[in-house]
Amino acid sequence: RMPASIPEADSRHRASAAFSLSFLSLVFSITAFSSSHWCEGTRKVAKPFCKGDSKGDLCIRFNSPDSNNSQAVQYIWETGDDKFVERNFHAGIWYSCEETISEDGEKCRSFISLTPASDRGVLWLSIVAELLYVILLLIGNILMSVEIFYYSSVIGGLKINAFSAVVTVLAGLLGMVAHMMYTTVFQMTVNLGPEDWRPHTWDYGWSYGLAWTSFACCMAAAVTTLNKYTKTILEFKHKRKKLERSFKIQYNFPDH
């Protein structure tokens, strides 16, 4: 016969595992939400004319007394790839940054301003969903910590456990919808965004991967919490049946 402390210890381990997963999800979501590396790539930018005695591969020496005329500009855009330079860029929910040609550093612009007007509503919905995702994760973490450290009875802990499971599942659904909506908005911006921003090549960055890792941790925490709740309920029912059976055996006397 197993000691009574083993189920309680197993319940504590499950609660600690759910809290750890939920806390990781919260940290990952905040990091991804505040970063600008959801998507990364390169832009093909026309090299500027060299000024004065400047030389090198980052500008074009055009031997003409009137290098600013329309023929010169047309010549630059119609020649081969050696007249262009690739610059790295990265974009997130809030802003997009790219390397500058003339000097070191980056030039950043609001990603909302780059988004086509027809898709800005979807982007704002994505931002609101991401904020709600973070808030619900925070609430779930608080409830799980209260369950682990402060609840006084098994019934009270079970109620908190059920509520934290619902909050965590809802957070996961919101996070999934928010990530998918941002993906759609970014792809539409690549196709319909400003000419001076559209990337030549691009792929998803580390922040995008971190956001989906956060979602995976959130759902794992929700499954662990629901599993703990279900197992506790089944244990209560099993103990109740055993108690009822023992009472029947104890008071079942012969008629004579």
pLDDT at residue 28 greater than cutoff 50 = yes
Residue 44, φ and ψ in degrees, nearest 5? -95, 115
Q: pLDDT tens-digit profile of 138-193?
A: 999 998 888 777 765 556 667 788 888 899 999 999 999 999 999 999 999 998 88
Rounded-to-integer distance, Cα 250 and Cα 1, Å: 21
Q: Is the pLDDT of residue 4 over 60?
A: no
SS3 content of the chain, % helix, strand, coil (to 5): 65, 10, 25
| Per-residue pLDDT at 153 | 57
Q: Is 177 left (phi over 0), alpha (psi -120 to 50) or beta?
A: alpha
Question: Using 50, 70 and 90 to split pLDDT, how confident is the model at 6?
Answer: very low
Summary mean pLDDT of the chain: 79
- Where residue 235 falls among pLDDT bands split at 50, 70, 90? low
What per-residue confidence (pLDDT) applies to 22? 92
CB-CB neighbours of 92 under 10 Å: 22
| Sign of the torsion angle spanned by Cα atoms 195, 201, 205, 208 | positive
Contact indicator for 247, 176 with CB cutoff of 8 Å: no
DSSP code, position 50: P
**pLDDT confidence of residue 122:** 94
DSSP string of 168-217? HHHHHHHHHHHHHHHHHHHHHHHHHS-TTT--SEEEE-HHHHHHHHHHHH
Query: Is 62 within 8 Å of 79 (Cβ atoms)?
Result: no
Smallest CA-to-CA distance from 202 within 59, 92, 82 is with 92
Predicted pLDDT at 100 = 79
**Residue 85 CB neighbours (<10 A):** 19
User: How many beta carbons lie within 10 A of that of residue 119, not counting itself?
Assistant: 19
Tens-digit pLDDT profile for residues 82-127: 677 778 889 999 999 988 766 677 888 899 999 999 889 999 999 9
Angle at CA of residue 186, ends 184 and 190, nearest 5°: 120
Domain ranges of the chain: 11-35+116-233
Least confident of 73-82, 175-184, 211-220: 73-82
Select the CATH number that applies to the domain covering 11-35+116-233 from these four: 1.20.140, 1.10.530, 2.40.128, 1.10.287.
1.20.140
- The pTM assigned to this predicted structure is 0.76
